[in-house]
Amino acid sequence: MTEDQMMLLTAIAVAITTILAAWFAVVRLIRPTYLGIRRRILTWENFMADWSGEKARPGRGATLGVMERLSDIDGNLKNNGGNSLKDSVDKVHQRLDEGNKNIYKLDRRIYRIEKKLEMDSRPANDSTPIEKLIERDKKS
């Protein structure tokens, strides 16, 4: 081999090494960076599509944006004459209040009936005034 051939062979080897190093840099360094940036861009695009809503397309209905959905939720949290969640909760609350009042009335009636039964079953020689019996029962 002549000196010129050795120089040419060395130049080819350096060129191949440079190409392989560049390929390694692309595969190991630049590609992961590109994929990470691409993933973030797609995430941002998905977020913006969700935020602003999407028009109907074949096989899929329209999707409301975040602000429209929040407006619907806000509408359900205000009284509107019977159709909102707030109206339903108010009706349930009113029924519970009525039920609690009825239970209190029944409790008072049962208490009076028990007192009357105790008075009727009290021995004839017991001269304790009714007021003292009621106070004693309240304490116990």
Q: Is 120 contained in some domain?
A: yes
The range of the structural domain enclosing residue 98 comes to 78-140
Dihedral sign of CA atoms 125, 131, 134, 136 in order: negative
Q: Is 53 left (phi over 0), alpha (psi -120 to 50) or beta?
A: left
Q: Is 68 contained in some domain?
A: no
90 lies in the same domain as 140: yes
Per the CB < 8 A criterion, the answer to whether 84 and 76 are in contact is yes
84 lies in the same domain as 47: no
pLDDT for residue 125: 59
Encode the chain (140 residues) as per-residue pLDDT tens digits.
788 889 999 999 999 999 999 988 888 888 888 999 999 999 999 889 888 888 888 888 888 888 888 888 887 777 777 777 888 888 899 999 999 999 999 999 998 888 888 877 766 555 556 666 666 666 65
How is the chain split among helix, strand and coil, in percent rounded to 5?
A: 75, 5, 20
Reading the block at residue 122, the tokens are 């009290």
85 lies in the same domain as 120: yes
Number of domains in the chain: 2
Q: Is 67 contained in some domain?
A: no
Q: Is 59 contained in some domain?
A: no
Give me the amino acid identity at 138: K
Q: What is the pTM of this model?
A: 0.39
Q: Is 111 contained in some domain?
A: yes
Q: Is 30 contained in some domain?
A: yes
DSSP of 55-90, one letter per residue?
--BTTB--B--HHHHHHHHHHHTS--SSSSHHHHHH
Reading the block at residue 106, the tokens are 């029944």
134 lies in the same domain as 89: yes
